[in-house]
Homo-oligomer: A and B are copies of this chain.
Amino acid sequence: MGRRVYAIVGGQVEGLVKKETKDGKPFWELGLSDGEGKMTLRAWSDAPAYGNCENLAVGEFIEVRGEFAQQAGFGVDARRWTLGILGEEAREILLAGSPETLKKQEEDYGLIEGSVRGMGDPRLRSLGELFLVDYGVRFRRCAAARGNHHARRGGLVEHVAQMMRGALGMAGAYPLLNKDLLIAGVLFHDAGKLWENAYPADGLMMPFDERGELLGHITIGVELVNTLWRKLLGMEVARGWGEVQPANEDVRLHLLHLVASHHGELQYGSPIVPKTPEAWALHYVDNLDAKLEMMAGGYANSKSLGPRIQERAWPLPGNLVSPLEKWSGEA
């Protein structure tokens, strides 16, 4: 099931346990995370990596050399591998991400910055800029989820950027939507995940966070918007906003509503259902992006069940069928 290739893989040690087989043969089980996925490796007592593991600690950055095989539906499997500790420089390169990922996320982040700068309403524009200044670095190393979709370092930037593309498309189709509000909603809707699904500056493992567990990303996102809003109103830029229409407080409440209602139904964790047009638009733009990213993940990784049919990739509701090829020629 799949060809084996020789490769070098870098990552951070997420778990390291010495175990025994049922019949008492010892081995090391090593969990490796590279900020996009996870891999479990086993070293037997007669393998060269066995000795290395004795001196390894959770959190160290290493590289693994060996034969790897993609096993559809079961992750990556490694054989005959050795490991080495990464130096400072190699570690920085690893933390920065692959060139392709970096490039993709640079473009996506640029699109977000452009959309923020392009907002007409000075309150929402300034709030967005303040967010990018104060939290941009953290934002860029955050995932959009712990599993399901965009569950990787930088995944939140990709999700937000792609949603902005979708939101602009919808705002074009429905001129009555308040585009500034919708763009701000996209920017902030998952901002609470900067605590719930963040990677540390110097690590590739997503920890669990007590604040995230006790409040959830929607409540944290509301608190974040409020904190930034208070700061903003005390800044120079906010002078003269006292008189404008719509009133500051209305803008704040509508933005908070978008954050609070974006899951669309109480049962999915929104404490309030959508009550404005932008809230519905945000909800569907979010859902469509999540589904299309899940499908992309499913096409890439899910087990084949037959020609052009792949196994259900949870939480999608059914098996996957390959997309219909686009028309290219002429009849």
Contact = CB atoms under 8 A, between A and B. Distances in A.
A219 B262 CA distance: 14
Contacts of A3: none
A292 to B, nearest CB: 6
Contact of A170 (B23, B27, B169): B169
A214 B256 contact: yes
Interface in A237-264: 240-241, 244-246, 250-251, 253-254, 256-257, 260
Contacts of A31: none
A147 to B, nearest CB: 14
A52 interface: no
Identify which of A27, A120, A214, A280 gathers the most chain B CB atoms within 10 Å of its CB.
Answer: A214
Identify which of A21, A120, A271, A317 gathers the most chain B CB atoms within 10 Å of its CB.
Answer: A271
Contact of A278 (B215, B273, B280, B324): B324
Contacts of A267: 266-267
B321 A213 contact: yes
A82 to B, nearest CB: 15
Contact of A23 (B44, B168, B306): B44
Interface string A134-167: 0000000000000000000000000000100110
A42 B21 CA distance: 11
B254 A214 contact: yes
B178 A170 contact: no
Contacts of A324: 178, 181, 246, 250-251, 254, 276, 278
A209 interface: yes
B319 A275 contact: yes
How many copies of this chain does one complex carry? 6
Given A169-B170, A281-B288, A331-B240, A21 B22 contact: yes
A92 B65 CA distance: 50
A17 interface: yes
19 contacts: A20-B79, A21-B22, A21-B23, A166-B169, A166-B170, A166-B174, A178-B325, A179-B326, A180-B326, A210-B307, A214-B321, A215-B256, A216-B272, A226-B226, A245-B329, A246-B325, A271-B271, A276-B324, A278-B324
Interface of A: 1, 17, 20-25, 27, 42, 44, 79, 120-122, 124, 162, 165-166, 168-174, 176, 178-181, 207-211, 213-216, 218-219, 222-223, 226, 240-241, 244-246, 250-251, 253-254, 256-257, 260, 265-278, 280-281, 284-285, 287-288, 291-292, 295, 305-309, 317-331
